Structure 1
Amino acid sequence: MLIVTRSIAIPESELVERFMRADGPGGQHVNRTESAVELRFDVASSPSISDELRERLLARRDRRMTDAGVLVIQARRFRDQARNRDDARDRLIDVIREATVVQKKRVATKPTRASKERRLVGKQKRGNIKSTRSKDWGRE
C-alpha cells in the first residue's frame, strides 16, 4: 500500500513496475543488472483516487502522462534497484500531492497610477542612458 495522504492510499496492485538496465557510471556492473525502474500508474481508471483529483492529474500538461491516462515515472538516479524503486514511488507521491492542492484563480487587476508613472520614469532614464552612447557623442 502506497500512502499518499491521510485520505489517499494506492494499493500495490495498481502500480506496475518494470526493471531495465540503466545507463551511466558503474562499469561492467551497469551492463549486467537491471537497476533502473519504470513505474506506471493508471490515473484514468484507478478506483483509489477521486474523480476531482483524476481530472486535475489528467489536465496537467505533464510529459510523463500518456494519451491513455497512464503516468509513467522512470527512476535511474541510483545504482541499485531498491533505491530507484523508492525514488520512483516518492516522485509518484509528489505528483499526486501537487494535484491535491487546488490553485486559486488569479484575479486580474489594473496597474496603479503610481506604478504606471514609475514605469514611464524608468523608461525615460533608460532612454537617456542609451542616447548618450551614440557614435557622435563626445566628438567635436
Structure 2
Amino acid sequence: MIRRACALVLLVPLLVGCQDREARAQNAELTRRVEALERQLSAAQADRPAGITADADRVVSEAAAQNCANNLTRELEIFRQNSSDRIYPRPAQLALPDACIDHRVNWITRTDQAYTFSVTDTAGRELVRQSSQTGS
C-alpha cells in the first residue's frame, strides 16, 4: 500500500510536467494565431481608403436625421388624425420627438393644413426635407 502511494506521489510531478508542456505548446500556438490575425487586421486597415470613415459618419448622420423626420411626421399626422377639426398642431402643442435631440428642425411652411420642414445637423447642413402630403 505504501509502495503504491509512493509510486503515485512520484508520478504526479511527471504528469504535471507533461500537462505544463502541452499547455505551453497550446499557448504558443494561440499566441502565433493571434499575432497572425493582428497582422491581417493591420493590413486590412491600411488598405482601407481614408474616406470610408467620413462616408460612414455622413450615412449615420443622414439616417439619424431621416429617423427624426419620420418620427416628427408621425407625431404631426397622429395629432391631425385625432384633431376634431383635422389640423396640424400649433408650435405650443407639439414637442419634438427624442430622435430629434441632436438635430435642428427648421419649419419652412407650417399652417393648420400643411407643413414642410427640414432637419439640419449642428453645422446647419440640411440632411432631410419633409412635407405633408396635402401641403407644399
Highest RCO, 1 vs 2 (Cα 8 Å, sep ≥ 6): 1
Length-normalised TM-score, structure 1: 0.26
Length-normalised TM-score, structure 2: 0.26
